[in-house]
Structure 1
Amino acid sequence: MQYVAPIGIGVLYALLMSLVHEPHRRRLNAVMVAGAGAAYLSGGGLGGWEFAFTALLAYVAFRGLESWTFIGVGWLLHTVWDVVHHLKGNPIIPFAHTSSLGCAICDPVIALWCLRGGPSLIALVRGRGRRRGPGRGPERSRATMTP
């Protein structure tokens, strides 16, 4: 369960973010990834590297204000930082020893969604996210078409 729940949390994050309309969704996600960059500042155990990482993610998040790709890269960078903390530092939640591992599993799910452009999952489920093409949608025969 400790490996499955973080995937569900990542999907839930994308679903909840789907309630926010563009361009606000992209900008809100940029702010979220900036906040994730500062998550370990209060005791991550890696000294000055915590500040360097926060500065890096602040820059990536700033670029993410106009680019889903940068937001996705930011979540992937945070994934690496979670793994480092799981192996060498302190967990993101002090009383949950595997919390950084859970975060490292959750973050790539969010990153993949962002790298796809942060589409509305709700619209995809409803079918509005699909493009019409051959074999999709109602077909009309020539006999029913009027000139």
Structure 2
Amino acid sequence: MTVEAIRNTMDALIQAGSNFDIDALDRLYHTDMQIQMIDMEGNLNKADKQGFMAMFKGMAESATGPMNTWAQFNDITADGNNGHVLITRKNELGGSPSLLVLSIDLAFEDNRWQVIREVIFIRPDTGDYPGEEN
């Protein structure tokens, strides 16, 4: 239940999401997962695990290849069975090159870290973000 274990879970999540690995996402996402996403137009979209997985399945069907795996880990914390990650990502989740800032809550259950909530802010990737992948 360490920061390192949470980082490993996040690395697995990035790989699974970027490659549309639905089975891996199913293991990484908690049954009660909730998503709140503010898109580039300022619209709030909400989804549960089932809805978010359906979105990924649809994206997989139209994908021409994997999504960008670029990630800057801004902060990772662990407190008992709870974890939190603040991360900046570059990918095409919003339908075009996007910069995503995510606040991700994790719970340690069933002997593994699982994503219980993601809050996602999407904005255009103008290429001038000064952060570095780490």
Larger helix share, 1 or 2: 1
- Higher RCO (C-alpha under 8 Å, 6+ residues apart): 1
Normalising by structure 1, what TM-score? 0.27
Normalising by structure 2, what TM-score? 0.29
